[in-house]
Amino acid sequence: MTEELTRDAFLGGKLHLLQPVSGYRAGVDPVLLAASVKAVAGQSVLDLGCGTGAAALCLGARVPGLKLAGVELQPGYAALARRNGGETFEVFTGDVADLPAGLRQRQFDHVIANPPYFDPRRRRAGRDEGRETALGESVPLEKWVRVAGRRLAPKGYAHFIHRIERLPDILGALDHDMGSVEVLPLTAREGRRPELAILRARKSGRGAFVLHAPLVLHEGARHTKDADSYVPAVRAVLRDGAALTF
């Protein structure tokens, strides 16, 4: 990972993160993921594959008083996550498939994850190793889902954001004690096919499966100006740190 860094504003300046100039850089996906979590002060949160800390720290900025922890495979990104979070964010360097000893016996009220979207066998690798590791699926998605479930406390919630075509894999990997599943598809504009989805599941949950109407991110049928076109609810999440309600 390059030593050149930028200091980027999130949530309308409520949060600033150091990120590499060249490499994986957090976009809107971890912000939307964090906004979907119904956490309250005093609860604990584990961010699997936390990168530089975008999802966990966005959640912490919205809900003060959380106990935040994360695990990140790449040492350089883990180091940045520690710098970004300071004493409020406990970051472990390690593999989701083989969690560090400090996490194996712990349980959390919430586990969140923005797993790599792409199978490296089906795409041409880029030049930046850090970005490829962040985006390319080296640990099977099913493993991410099972690890999340096992680290949850009873009645705890797991949240994932991923590509819509991988929903069957996530649903199929949920352990038998994970229920009350809800899926919120995300579509760029009205009338377009959703490309992403946020999935929420509860340990020991007994609620029926719910497929929500897609959340439309942008106004209008197409991009027509050099400015963001987010709908008010999404703009409130990205600019004001608001919650994203299902």
Domain count, the chain: 1
Residue 149 is given by DSSP the state: H
Residue whose token pair is 């971890």: 30
Residue recorded with tokens 């309250």: 40
**pLDDT tens-place string over residues 85-122:** 999 999 999 999 999 999 999 999 999 999 999 765 55
Tell me, what DSSP letter sits at residue 206?
-
Does any domain span residue 34? yes
Confidence of residue 220 (pLDDT cuts 50, 70, 90): confident
In a domain, 245, yes or no: no
Strands 89-93 and 152-163, by their bridges, are unpaired
Rounded to the nearest integer, the mean pLDDT of the chain is 92
pLDDT in tens, 160-213: 999 999 999 999 999 999 999 999 999 999 999 999 999 999 999 999 999 999
Q: What's the rounded mean pLDDT across residues 7-30?
A: 96
Asked, for residue 172, whether it belongs to a domain, the answer is yes
Q: Give residues with Cβ within 8 angstroms of 117, minimum separation 6.
A: 135, 137, 162, 163, 166
Whether residue 108 contacts residue 153, with contact meaning beta carbons closer than 8 Å, is answered with yes
CATH number of the domain to which 184 belongs: 3.40.50.150
What is the C-alpha R_g of the chain? 17
Does this model's pTM top 0.75? My answer is: yes
- Which domain covers residue 193, as residue numbers? 5-240
d(CA 169, CA 196): 14
